[in-house]
């Protein structure tokens, strides 16, 4: 068993194990194959995989999107009110404000796909959905509480008839506020 040394194309020495003093045609083919690899450009390492936002970040983004949607909804209601009153300039102002709120809300990253999509991270989808829904649910619960207290106050003043009137008025107040 012998050694065969040859300089590669870039000048660096290569040492090969061969059977005799000179390489056989098979060994020379193996040596040439090894040397041809020297000229190949190195493959760039793949870019590191971006980490998906965590559950708390997704929840926070959902809260921000939900809050912006509420603001955009109020602005759209203002736009409709001024359109009904015939004030086109103010209606346009409210419309621009609603568009700005929606654009701001769209800046917050949310997981793509849905809960039934097998390629999504389920906890992130759930956190984003809860976050996006929480602001409107909070307003709804606030409206229910205000309606309940108003209905109870009216019901206690009006006696037996007040129970029905309190429920109706309290429901109307809760619906308007929620």
Tell me which residue of 129, 79, 69, 59 sits closest to 105, measured CA to CA.
69
Tokens for 135, please give them. 């602001």
CB 120 within 8 A of CB 114: yes
Q: Is 47 exposed, middle or buried (0-12, 13-18, 19+ CB in 10 A)?
A: exposed
**Residue at 15 is within a domain:** yes
User: Considering the chain, what percentage of its residues have pLDDT values greater than 90?
Assistant: 3
Instruction: Please list the residues that pair with 14 across neighbouring strands.
Output: 6
Domain count, the chain: 1
**Residue at 14 is within a domain:** yes
Q: Which domain holds residue 14?
A: 2-29
**What is the per-residue pLDDT across 95-119, written as a single tens digit (0 to 9) for each?**
998 888 888 877 777 766 665 666 6
Instruction: Name the pTM for this structure.
Output: 0.50
**Residue at 64 is within a domain:** no
């Amino acid at each position: 068993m012998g050694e065969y040394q040859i300089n590669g194309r870039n000048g660096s020495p290569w040492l090969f194990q061969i059977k005799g003093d000179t390489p056989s045609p098979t060994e020379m083919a193996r040596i040439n194959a090894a040397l041809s690899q020297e000229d190949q450009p190195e493959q760039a390492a793949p870019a590191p995989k971006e980490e998906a936002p965590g559950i708390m970040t997704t929840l926070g983004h959902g809260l921000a999107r939900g809050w912006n949607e509420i603001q955009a909804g109020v602005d759209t209601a203002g736009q409709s009110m001024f359109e009904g009153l015939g004030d086109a300039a103010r209606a346009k102002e409210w419309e621009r404000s609603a568009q700005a709120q929606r654009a701001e809300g769209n800046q917050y990253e949310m997981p793509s796909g849905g809960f039934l999509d097998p390629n999504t991270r389920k906890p992130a989808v759930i956190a984003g959905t809860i976050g996006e829904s929480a602001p409107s649910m909070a307003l709804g619960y606030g409206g229910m509480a205000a309606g309940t207290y108003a209905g109870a106050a009216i019901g206690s003043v009006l006696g037996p008839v007040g129970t029905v009137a309190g429920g109706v008025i309290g429901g109307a107040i809760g619906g308007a506020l929620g």
